[in-house]
Chains A and B, each alone.
Chain A
Amino acid sequence: MIELLDPTTGVATQTIAYVDRPASLEGKRVGLIENTKFNSDRLLAKIGDILKSEYGVAEWRMYRKHNASVPAHEELIAEIRKSCDAIVAGIGD
């Protein structure tokens, strides 16, 4: 019999407090978080326009992260918290 030590570590679980999803986007202000990848701003602007024309969003505004590999920085999150009711964020190539 050989006894082995486990080399893995589970990721620590975190509790994240989400605000409730709005029942409707009608009249809401939407933030679009752009990750700096090529054309991500154009894709998000398109999404923003659809949210306005089809879902009644009042306005959208684009926010830019420092780069795609890092979380949104504190100043950006503070600004979004003040001026948005909902956000669209994502990552992809």
Chain B
Amino acid sequence: MPSQLTARRHRVEGTLADAIEFCFQQGWTDGLPVVPPTAELVGAMLGGARLDPKQEIGFVAHRGVSITAEKAAINAVMAGCKREYMPVVVAAIEAIADPRWSYHGPGTSTAGAGVLMIVNGPVARELDVNAGDNLFGPGWRANLTIGRAVRLVMRNVCGSMPGTLDRGTLGHPGKLSYVIAENEAESPWTPLHVERGFRAEQSTVTVMAAEAPHQFYNQLSNTAEGILTTLCDDMRISGNVMGQPHYAIVLAGEHMRTIAKDGWGKKDIRRFVFEQTQNTHAHLKRTARMSGPIDPGDEAKLRPLIASPDDILVVAAGGRAGAFSAYIPGWSSSRSSQAVTKEVRRGSAA
């Protein structure tokens, strides 16, 4: 029997609708209605990951905040998660509390990062985390509620309240929820988590502080080089061109098959994109992105978008039909926030 729930209790007179309204009034929601977090639902959510309520899932040093299992579970209930989703929520919270992710930046910045979460391994299929049609859109409970739970934790536990501590100038819709799975069943490539040091049969969540997805079209080429040339031309001026920490490239069905048919793996894609997205100093100066006058040699002097090809995460995901894919700029500048992958642990008592 887990130890007692210790969160402060609020008694609301009336109906379920009154309880939902109460949550709005307390400032607990992201603007959408939440499931009122009763002790029964929270207990079940904790049971979904076999967590003791007191257990610390993460400590955000910059905020001096300990994220306990109980608070995570309360917010997961509010977000509409099934109890089976809880281990994924926990892994994502561990990841954003990891010092490499550097919470203070993406949790507060005017540049308005969302938390892109990429789910890999068996758990993605078991929980029906969408990796296909309408990838970033509505329709899948796991995708919409897991990310929402993490964002509610950021708001209610870590204090990233829009307009006060979360000062995103524009923000983007992914700040509500930004969860995808990799289409491992159809992908010809090494899954992201395996590239990042895990075994294929492990389940993981990779978090990356991220801008909104940028869709690009290539309905013409039947070669890897053709499609990726279009991608690079779209991507070359995007995000913080003066030095991004990361990009995610999300290749959907048609593009994935065309690129793979030419024998290109993820490493080849990263190398090509790294080389073909560099800007000349002259262009950066002409377009007011780099300071100073144009010097002799600036027309030939190249500046890469990211420090290394390894800073590009390549993910196979999206619908089977349609010659579209996407790139996602990371947040801020190099060294500010690194993508972090954590294992989703299920079934073992913490």
Question: Is B12 a contact of A5 with CB atoms below 8 Å?
Answer: no
Question: Is B157 a contact of A9 with CB atoms below 8 Å?
Answer: yes
Chain A residues near B12 (CB-CB < 8 A): 1-4
Among A2, A6, A14, A93, the one with the most B-chain Cβ atoms within 10 Å of its Cβ is: A2
Considering the complex, give the chain B residue whose CB is closest to the CB of A92. B110
Interface: B261 (CB within 8 A):
no
| Complex-state Cα separation, A5 to B10, whole angstroms | 6
Interface: A58 (CB within 8 A):
no
Interface of A is mostly: loop
Question: Is B102 a contact of A4 with CB atoms below 8 Å?
Answer: no
| CB-CB under 8 A for A69 and B109, given A5-B5, A6-B74, A11-B64 | yes
Question: Is B74 a contact of A69 with CB atoms below 8 Å?
Answer: no
Considering the complex, give the chain B residue whose CB is closest to the CB of A39. B291
- Among listed B35-43, B170-178, B192-200, B211-219, interface-contacting one: B35-43
Size class of A's contact patch? 20 to 34
Chain B residues near A14 (CB-CB < 8 A): 64
Interface: A66 (CB within 8 A):
yes
Chain B residues near A1 (CB-CB < 8 A): 11-14
| CB-CB under 8 A for A7 and B110, given A1-B12, A2-B12 | no
| Complex-state Cα separation, A66 to B65, whole angstroms | 23
Chain B residues near A38 (CB-CB < 8 A): 291
Interface membership of chain A positions 2-24, coded 1 if the CB is closer than 8 angstroms to chain B and 0 otherwise: 11111111011010000000000
Interface: B222 (CB within 8 A):
no
Task: Give residues 1-54 of A contacting B (CB, 8 Å).
Answer: 1-9, 11-12, 14, 38
Chain A residues near B68 (CB-CB < 8 A): 9
Interface: A68 (CB within 8 A):
yes
| CB-CB under 8 A for A7 and B159, given A69-B337, A93-B110 | no
Question: Is B74 a contact of A7 with CB atoms below 8 Å?
Answer: yes
Considering the complex, give the chain B residue whose CB is closest to the CB of A4. B10
The distance from the CB of B23 to the nearest CB of chain A, in whole angstroms, is: 7
The distance from the CB of A25 to the nearest CB of chain B, in whole angstroms, is: 30
Interface: B62 (CB within 8 A):
yes
Interface: B335 (CB within 8 A):
yes
Question: Is B64 a contact of A12 with CB atoms below 8 Å?
Answer: yes
Question: Is B9 a contact of A3 with CB atoms below 8 Å?
Answer: yes
The distance from the CB of B314 to the nearest CB of chain A, in whole angstroms, is: 26
Considering the complex, give the chain A residue whose CB is closest to the CB of B19. A2
Question: Is A7 a contact of B19 with CB atoms below 8 Å?
Answer: no
| CB-CB under 8 A for A6 and B38, given A12-B64, A69-B332 | no
The distance from the CB of B44 to the nearest CB of chain A, in whole angstroms, is: 13
Interface on A for B, CB 8 Å cutoff? 1-9, 11-12, 14, 38, 66-71, 93
- Beyond A1-B12, A5-B10, A7-B74, 17 extra complex contacts between A and B, CB < 8 Å: A2-B16, A3-B12, A4-B37, A5-B7, A5-B39, A6-B8, A8-B28, A8-B156, A8-B157, A9-B65, A12-B64, A12-B66, A67-B333, A67-B335, A69-B102, A69-B109, A70-B104
- Cross-chain pairs A/B with CB under 8 angstroms, 6 sampled: A1-B13, A2-B14, A2-B38, A5-B42, A7-B152, A9-B66
Q: State the 6 A-B residue pairs at the shortest beta-carbon distance, nearest first.
A: A69-B105, A6-B8, A5-B7, A7-B74, A7-B156, A2-B19
